[in-house]
Amino acid sequence: MNVRMPFRPFNPFNAGAPCILVRCCFLNGHFIEINGRSRRSRRKIYYLHRRYKFMNRIEKQISRFRGWLPRKPMKLDKETLPDLEENDCYTAPFSQQRIHHFIIHNKDTFFNNATRSRIVHHILQRVKYEEGKNKIGLNRLLSNGSYEAAFPLHEGSYRSKNSIKTHGAENHRHLLYECWASWGVWYKYQPLDLVRRYFGEKIGLYFAWLGWYTGMLFPAAFIGLFVFLYGVTTLNHCQVSKEVCQATDIIMCPICDKYCPFMRLSDSCIYAKVTHLFDNGATVFFAVFMAVWATVFLEFWKRRRAVIAYDWDLIDWEEEEEEIRPQFEAKYSKKERMNPISGKPEPYQAFADKCSRLIVSASGIFFMICVVIAAVFGIVIYRVVTVSTFAAFKWALIRNNSQVATTGTAVCINFCIIMLLNVLYEKVALFLTNLEQPRTESEWENSFTLKMFLFQFVNLNSSTFYIAFFLGRFTGHPGAYLRLINRWRLEECHPSGCLIDLCMQMGIIMVLKQTWNNFMELGYPLIQNWWTRRKLRQEYGTQRKTSFPQWEKDYNLQPMNAYGLFDEYLEMILQFGFTTIFVAAFPLAPLLALLNNIIEIRLDAYKFVTQWRRPLASRAKDIGIWYGILEGIGILSVITNAFVIAVTSDFIPRLVYAYKYGPCAGQGEAGQKCMVGYVNASLSVFLVSDFENRSEPTSNGSEFSGSPLKYCRYRDYRDPPHSPVPYGYTLQFWHVLAARLAFIIVFEHLVFCIKHLISYLIPDLPKDLRDRMRREKYLIQEMMYEAELERLQKERKERKKNGKSYHNEWP
Max avg pLDDT among 35-49, 194-208, 546-560: 194-208
Question: What pLDDT score does 235 carry?
Answer: 85
Residue 230 has pLDDT above 70, yes or no: yes
Q: Which pLDDT band, with edges at 50, 70 and 90, does 742 fall under?
A: very high
Residue 36 and residue 34: Cα distance in Å, rounded?
5
For residue 392, pLDDT over 70 is answered with no
Q: How far apart are CA 744 and CA 760, in angstroms?
A: 24
Q: Please, which pLDDT band fits residue 220 given cuts at 50, 70 and 90?
A: very high
Distance, CA of 535 to CA of 531 (rounded, Å): 6
Residue 159, pLDDT above cutoff 50: yes
* pLDDT reported for residue 666: 73
- Per-residue pLDDT, averaged over 261-271, amounts to 84
Which strand (E) or helix (H) includes residue 66?
helix 53-66
3-state secondary structure labels for all residues of 528-546: HHHHHHHHHHHHHCHHHHH
Angle among Cα 673, 676, 681 to the nearest 5 degrees reads 145
Whether 301 and 212 have beta carbons less than 8 Å apart is answered as yes
324 DSSP 8-state letter: B
Q: Could you report the per-residue pLDDT of 273-282, keeping only the tens digit for each?
A: 888 888 888 8
Return the pLDDT at 811. 42
Tens-place pLDDT, residues 652-662? 888 898 888 88
User: Over 639-678, what HEC string results?
Assistant: HHHHHHHHHHCCHHHHHHHHHHHCCCCCCCCCCHHHHCCH
In DSSP terms, 39 is beta-bridged to 32
Per-residue confidence (pLDDT) for residue 735, from 0 to 100: 92
Q: How far apart are CA 519 and CA 526, in angstroms?
A: 10
CA–CA distance from 755 to each of 586, 758, 762 (Å)?
A: 22, 5, 11
Spatial distance between the Cα atoms of 446 and 441, rounded to a whole number of angstroms: 9
pLDDT band at 68 (very low <50, low <70, confident <90, very high): low
Alpha carbon distance 561, 550 (integer Å): 21
Residue 214 is predicted with a pLDDT of 92
In angstroms, rounded to a whole number, what is the distance separating the alpha carbons of residues 126 and 140?
11
Please give the Cα distance from 676 to 434 (Å, whole number).
Answer: 63
pLDDT at 542: 63
Q: Return the pLDDT at 546.
A: 60
**Using the 8-state DSSP alphabet, how is residue 706 labeled?**
S
What is the predicted pLDDT for the residue at 156?
Answer: 81
8 A C-beta contact, residue 460 and residue 420: no
In terms of DSSP bridges, do strands 336-338 and 263-264 run parallel, antiparallel, or are they unpaired?
Answer: unpaired
For 3, list phi and psi in degrees, rounded to 5.
-130, 135
Most confident of 100-114, 445-459, 517-531: 445-459
pLDDT, mean of residues 69-90:
58
Considering only the C-alpha atoms of the chain, give the largest distance between any 2 of them, rounded to a whole number of Å: 129
Q: What local confidence, expressed as pLDDT, does residue 320 receive?
A: 56
Listed range (528-537, 691-700, 788-797) with the worst mean pLDDT: 528-537
- Distance between CA atoms of residues 209 and 571, nearest Å: 13
DSSP H helical ranges for 146-265: 164-167, 172-176, 192-199, 201-233, 239-246
pLDDT of 16 over the 70 cut = no
Euclidean distance between CA atoms 82 and 155, whole angstroms: 15
Give the C-alpha separation, 59 to 47, whole Å: 19
Contact 464, 677 (CB under 8 A): no
How far is the C-alpha of 531 from the C-alpha of 526, rounded, in Å?
A: 9
Buried b (16+ CB within 10 A) or exposed e, 741-771: eebbeebbeebeeebeeeeeeeeeebeebee
Question: Looking at the predicted structure, is the pLDDT value of residue 35 above 60?
Answer: no
pLDDT for position 31: 34
- pLDDT tens by residue, 38-67: 233 333 343 334 444 555 666 666 666 555
Which H or E element spans position 117?
Answer: helix 113-124
Neighbours of 131 (CB within 10 A): 6
Q: What is the pLDDT of residue 124?
A: 82
d(CA 517, CA 574): 12
Q: What is the mean pLDDT of residues 761-780?
A: 83
* Helices assigned H by DSSP within 392-498: 396-400, 402-436, 441-469
CA 487 → CA 193, 407, 482, distances in Å? 64, 21, 9
Q: How far is CA 416 from CA 194, 197, 275, 284, 413, in A?
A: 40, 40, 27, 33, 5
Lowest mean pLDDT among 304-308, 425-429, 489-493, 789-793: 489-493
- pTM reported for the whole predicted model: 0.80
Give the C-alpha separation, 799 to 803, whole Å.
Answer: 6
Taking 50 as the threshold, does the pLDDT of residue 469 lie above it?
yes
How confident is the prediction for the chain on average, in pLDDT? 78
In angstroms, the CA 528 to CA 514 distance is 21
Range with the largest mean pLDDT of 140-144, 337-341, 575-579:
575-579
Mean pLDDT lowest among 32-41, 332-341, 438-447: 32-41
